[in-house]
Each structure stands twice: as structure tokens, then as C-alpha cells.
Chains A and B, each alone.
Chain A
Amino acid sequence: MTRILLRNKLDDCLAAWQKAGFSVLAPVKRHEMSTFGEVQKASDMALDLVLTERTIKDHFFPQTEPLIKYKIGKHQIDSETMTPPERKRVFFGVRPCDASGLAIDDPLFGWDYKDDYWFRRRDNSVIVTIACSQADDFCMCTSVKLSPDSSKGADVLLRPLSDGSGWQVEAVSDRGTALLETISSLLQESSAETAPLPQVAEKFDVEKVMEWLADPASFESQFWKDISLRCVGCGSCTFLCPTCHCFDIQDEGDTYQGIRRKNWDSCSFPLFTMHTSGNNPRNTQSTRWRQRIMHKFNYYRGKFGVNSCSGCGRCTRQCPVDMGITETLQAISNLPR
């Protein structure tokens, strides 16, 4: 016997969370795009998507974030730090790959300096993951050693019931247990079966990939030039990625007043590494693509013990020239050795 949440109890569930002071964010469709947005009722949610086009990362590490307001007077400089509000949020219907993305990025934002902007949002958020019941051609969670029902990064894991009537409920963190207490009267004991997980074939051998990347001889390989020939150097793969986290700091305003902002940046852009001297150490697209792969499957792992990829496949799904990480890693797996 396990506890289940029925789909038809979802509205009550939302009401209970709102009453407990949470905003609820779930997959929504707006202006021909799917993303996570605030919802008031169950019918606002688009729970049947394989994945939303935008990741939940956007709600923890926004594309543009005001950091400081400044004003420079004749005799005085005033500045005001702008930290995000401590708003309690439930993210309902997160896919396992997106939840894992948050967990992958946690050590980065808490490494030598604890990023208040990330952790204020993380600490006030509860992640309710729904295990996948469908996958598409681009999904590759199993290739990075995750799975369609991974609970990594989740506080609560829901598994769809085979008759589609609801989900089996499991708390996977203290925060999740506390959240479930707020809806305890809506949960019921049941022995209903869960739906089978979708088959996500392993598309590459990540061990082989990591081994090849770690070999210093690979750095100057012709492979990078050949594979990245058609890359047009847009940043869509990086911006849609649940784990990419590079940013730039910009002052907007004039000499006397303005706002300092933290904006997303991308290793795909030449400007990313441009020196003030005009020299660019990564001055071709192949060196930038190499950096992206090396960062995800070599450097990040070296520093934080985990690969910076959760296998969502968005980089390939949305690439205007049908590139993406999968093809590159497949090609590396198949290199003669």
C-alpha cells in the first residue's frame, strides 16, 4: 500500500498549498511556448508534455537579475542591494531531468561563495517531480546515468498510475515530507499500479566519452573541427540547458545612476572570451564547441564530481542545424581507440 494523489484532487491540492503560503508553478503553454508559470487551478497546467521548452532553471537563475541599484551624487554614493524576495514556491510537475539540473548546479552556486540569489530561491522552493510516462527521440537521461523516474533534485516524486487517474506519492526529502503534510487529507492509501516507464535507449557510452576527453591528446583533435563545422554559433543550446550557468555582469544606466545586472552569457558567443586587448583565445566555433563539451563532461566533473548534463536533450531538440550534445558524444563513443 502506498499513498496516491488523484488527478481530480489537484485543485484542492493547489488550494491547500496556496493557503499554506506557497505560489504554485507548473508547466503552462503561453504564446506558443511551453514553460513553467504560476497557476491558479489544475486546468492551467499542461502536464502531458514530454518536456517544457524552457527549463525551471529560469526561476532560480533568471535570464536577467538586478543585483544593485546605484546613485552617484556630488559628495555621496548610494547603493542598494537587490536580493530576490523570500517567496515560498511549489514547482509541480517538474521532469526528472530538470530537477536533476538544479541538483547539478547546487555545488557550483555554493562553491567558493554562496550565491544568495540562487539559494534564497532554492531554499524556499519545493520540487515535485513527476516521473515520465513518455519520451521522445531526443531524451537521453539514461545515457548520463539518470532515469525517467530519477528523484535527484526532487523533494517529492510522483509516479503516474497506469490508469491515468493520478500519481503514487513519495517524499524524498524533509522539505517534501513537510509539503505532503499540508495535503495529507487529500492523499489516500492504494495499491494501484504505476504506469510502465518509457524506454529511453542509451545513446552513448558516457564512460568512454569521459575517458577520451580526459586524454590531453584529444584537446587538439581534428574531431572538434569536423563535428562543429555546421554550428552557427547561436546560444540556444546553452540557454535552454537546465545546467548551463554562465553569466555576465552589466551596468545599465549612466555615470550617475543605474542598475547592475547579472545576465545569462554563453560559451557559444565569441564575445564570451574576448580579451580587452582584442585577442580571443577561443576564436573559432570549434574551440567554443569543444569548451562546451569539455566543461560538461570533463572540467565540471573534475571539480564537482558530477557531469553537467541531465540528459533532457533540449540542445538537440531545438538546435536550428540539428546539432547538440548527443551527436557529439555518440561520435566520441565510436571513435577508434
Chain B
Amino acid sequence: MGIQEQYRNEAAALLSSGEVKLVIGFGAGSTADRRRPLFARTPEQAQKFVLDAACIANLSTYLVAEGLLSDGKKVGVFLKPDGIRSVNILISEAQLKPEQVVILGYAIENGKEVTPLEGRNISDFSIGEKIRKLTPPPHVIEAAEKIEAMSPAERFEFWKEHFSKCIKCYACRQVCPMCYCRRCIVDVNQPQWVSTSSHTLGNFEWNLVRAFHLAGRCAACGACDRACPVNIPLRLVNYRMGKEVRSAFNYVAGENSDQKPVLASFKQDDPETFIL
């Protein structure tokens, strides 16, 4: 039995036993190579789940949808390691109760083969060292290094050109599991903190606010990058911020759910190299 059949049956069993009220997984998309989020509430609907190497979206973002978990019931969700890291971050930030999430974990090897991950509760995933070693795809690192090698003026020009395309659709925010604020700073309009205009200043304001806000919180799933309709390489920004946090605090977001949020906690031996 392949992993798809196995997980369909498992999701159906979870639903028919009443253990979970809903399973969030993937279904066939509008074209042969697309997959779309699918919400199953009955065992029959669970038979429509698809699980293959095209299932790359991070579905943990739906766990923080307003009201989803407020009834205390459990939800099942298909997650790759980056999704599991996201759940760890959400738990450590008190956005999720670990006992409410049943994880149907899977990994995609070499971009092709899909293998199951053992364990169903977040505590089953002892992913500390594995995560620490986890690196983004080589092309992301290569692109990030290229930008790091630029002079500050060149780098500014690079981002100015890319951010000038930003249409402020906020797709990057909406697909990000870490963007769960009920009211985002850019939506606060009395007073208007951040300009809604899509000019250079407004676009920089939005993209920099988001970059800072995700420092030490990004699970590096790349959802923002894939969602951007104007192809701004957003994951490079978050990659760089993650690298900063790793070198300053030896901290990798999402290693486990007991981590304290790095920028909301203090240790006596924290380096103070960045304080002028």
C-alpha cells in the first residue's frame, strides 16, 4: 500500500472514530500538476486526499484560522518537516494546544519520493539535530550568497527593484502560518502606521516590517515565495534573517515546542555584540 492509500485510510479512521473533526490535506488541483488544500469532514471525503511529491504547500497555516480550534476539538493535518516546525513555533508562541493537532507527517525525498514520518503527536517528532542541519535548497543558498556578496548600494538596488513590483496583495502574509495576528499592523488605519500606497516607501515599509517580524520565527517553508504573484524572492529575506538569529543566538526556529521565542526571551549569556 502506498503512502497515499495509507494516509487516506488513516484520515478516514480518524474521522469515523470521531477522534478529529476535520482533516486538512491535499486534493487534486485545477491542472494535472497542481494540488489544492482539501478539507475532509467525513471518511468519504478523506478518500479524495492526494499525497505525492507535488504536495509542497505548508498546510499548518490553516490551523490558526480564526475559530478553527476554539471548540477544543482535534484536527488532523498533512505536514512536511517545515510544517511540523511551524507547529512547534505556533505552540511555543501559545497559538496552538499540542493535544489538538494530529499530524500525518511525510517527507519528500529528492523532490520525488514521498515517505511517511512516524508519530502523530507533535511530541513524537524529535527533530532537533535533524532540523538544525536542515538547509534550504541549494539554489536558495546560492542566490542568498550572491546577494550577500554585493556592495550595500548594489544590494539596496536589488531589493528596490524587486520591492517596486510589490502589489500589496499580502499573499505572503496570508499563506504564512506565522502571520496570525488578528489585526496586522498594515491594517491598522487609525492612525495609519504603515502606508498602504505601493510606492517605494510603502513597499519597503511593508516588506521590512514583515522581515523583522519573522526574524527567528520563520520555518523556512517558502510559502511566501511561492505565493508571491510578482515573483519577489521573499524567502531570501527570511533565510538571511534566520541566519542572523542562528549566528547571534545559536537558535533555529521550530526545533521543538518547548523553545522560548528567541526575541521574546532573555538569557544571561546572550551575546551583546549587536549593542553599540
Contacts and interface: CB of A to CB of B under 8 A. Distances in A.
Contact of B230 (A54, A263, A326, A327): A54
B21 interface: no
Contact of B197 (A30, A64, A327): A64
B36 A230 contact: yes
B197 A252 contact: yes
Contacts of A323: 36
Nearest to A240: B229
A50 interface: no
Given A271-B187, A322-B34, A324-B30, A232 B174 contact: yes
Contacts of A235: 168-171
B198 A236 contact: no
Contacts of B116: none
B167 A63 contact: yes
B189 A271 contact: yes
A321 B36 contact: yes
Contacts of A230: 36-39, 62
A234 B176 CA distance: 11
Contacts of A264: 167-168, 198
Interface string A32-72: 11000000000000000000011000000001100000000
Contacts of A232: 61, 171, 174-175
Contact of B162 (A31, A63, A234, A261): A31
A229 B37 CA distance: 9
Interface of A: 30-33, 53-54, 63-64, 137-138, 229-230, 232-236, 238-240, 248, 250, 252, 261, 263-264, 266, 269-271, 316, 318, 320-324, 326-327
A320 B30 contact: no
B259 interface: no
B199 A64 contact: yes
Contacts of A31: 161-162, 165, 231
Nearest to A54: B230
B247 interface: no
B8 interface: no
B70 interface: no
Given A63-B198, A266-B169, A320-B175, 7 more contacts: A63-B168, A230-B36, A234-B171, A250-B192, A263-B196, A321-B175, A322-B36
A275 to B, nearest CB: 12
B170 A322 contact: no
Contacts of B199: 64
Interface string B39-57: 1000000000000000001
Contacts of A322: 29-30, 34-37
B40 to A, nearest CB: 11
Contacts of B198: 63-64, 263-264
A237 to B, nearest CB: 8
Interface centre among A233, A240, A322 (most CB of B within 10 A): A322
B173 interface: yes
Interface centre among A30, A230, A270, A326 (most CB of B within 10 A): A230
Contact of A64 (B34, B35, B202): B202
B67 to A, nearest CB: 9
B17 interface: no
B195 interface: yes
A261 B201 CA distance: 14
Contacts of B167: 63, 236, 239-240, 264
Contacts of B151: none
A33 B162 CA distance: 9
Contacts of A239: 167-169, 229
A318 B230 CA distance: 9
Nearest to A318: B229
12 contacts: A30-B161, A63-B168, A234-B171, A240-B229, A250-B195, A263-B198, A264-B167, A318-B229, A320-B227, A321-B37, A323-B36, A324-B30
Given A31-B161, A230-B39, A137 B171 contact: no
Contacts of B36: 230, 321-323
Nearest to A265: B196
A248 B198 CA distance: 12
B109 to A, nearest CB: 24
Nearest to B192: A250
B187 to A, nearest CB: 5
Contact of B30 (A236, A261, A316): A316
A32 B170 contact: no
Nearest to B184: A271
B68 to A, nearest CB: 10
Nearest to A232: B174
B31 interface: yes
A320 B171 contact: yes
B226 interface: yes
Contacts of A137: 30-31
B164 to A, nearest CB: 8
B30 A33 contact: no
A73 B88 CA distance: 55
Contacts of B233: 32
Contacts of B57: 320-321
Contacts of B202: 64
A326 B174 CA distance: 21
B123 to A, nearest CB: 28
A229 B39 contact: yes
B140 to A, nearest CB: 14
A33 B230 contact: yes
Contacts of B196: 248, 250, 263
